[in-house]
Amino acid sequence: MAEKVLVVTGDAGESYEALYATHRLREAGVDVVVAAPSRRRLHLVIHDFEPGWDTYIERQGYGLESDVTFTEVSVEGYAAVLVLGGRAPEYLRHDAALLELVREFATHDRWIFAICHGIQILIAAGLVGGRRVTCYEHVRNEVEWAGGTYCTEQAVRDGKIVTAQTWQSHPEFYREVMRCLGEAAATRS
């Protein structure tokens, strides 16, 4: 496939989403670059859904090395950006360099993928208004306040943006992600 994808996360990013993304994309021959506020081993978390709880619970997860900082990234050479969920988007959505970077992906007509709470970064970047998207159900109000239409499907594609609800949406989400990356490769051929 020979594509290059920027994976965005930080401390308290969802561990399963991060590892699944990097492994699945690398398995398909995609060059994966992990971006975070700093270059170091990130402290990831596991969000799980337990009977009797009204929301997810959080435990310490695996770690992941970041390759670059947000300020070191140039959109050139990347086919897409993938914004992961977990609790990291709660603070990353206030990072001006990241918001500008995500907007550049949109300006350069590149794919933008977001899962779970990752939508919070797209909202803060002003990319959700007028779009059909999905995300973790308890972020629905933020989507609607930003002018987006919340959808209940596991994965939703609207133009160059593909969103998913949670790590439970991986099968539907990554089928669409791989389809989009295949389209990107085909248009360059």
Structural domain of 51: 4-188
Whole-number average pLDDT of the chain: 96
Query: How many distinct structural domains can be found in the chain?
Result: 1
- Please say if the pLDDT value at position 39 is more than 70: yes
More confident residue, 188 or 31: 31
Question: Which tokens sit at 124?
Answer: 């803060």
- The pLDDT confidence band at residue 2, using thresholds 50, 70 and 90, is low
If you average pLDDT over residues 101-107, what whole number do you get?
98
- Would you say 38 and 68 are in contact if contact means Cβ atoms under 8 Å apart? no
Contact residues for 121 (Cβ-Cβ < 8 A; gap 6+): 8, 83, 89, 92, 93, 98, 99, 102, 114
pLDDT of residue 186: 79
The bridge status of strand 41-48 relative to strand 161-164 is unpaired
- The pLDDT confidence band at residue 189, using thresholds 50, 70 and 90, is low
Q: How far apart are CA 155 and CA 169, in angstroms?
A: 7
For 146-182, what is each residue's pLDDT tens digit? 999 999 999 999 999 999 999 999 999 999 999 999 9
Can you give the CATH number for the domain in which 48 is found?
3.40.50.880
Instruction: Provide the 10 A C-beta neighbour count for residue 136.
Output: 24
pLDDT of residue 67: 98
Torsion sign across C-alpha atoms 162, 165, 166, 168: negative
If you average pLDDT over residues 29-55, what whole number do you get?
95
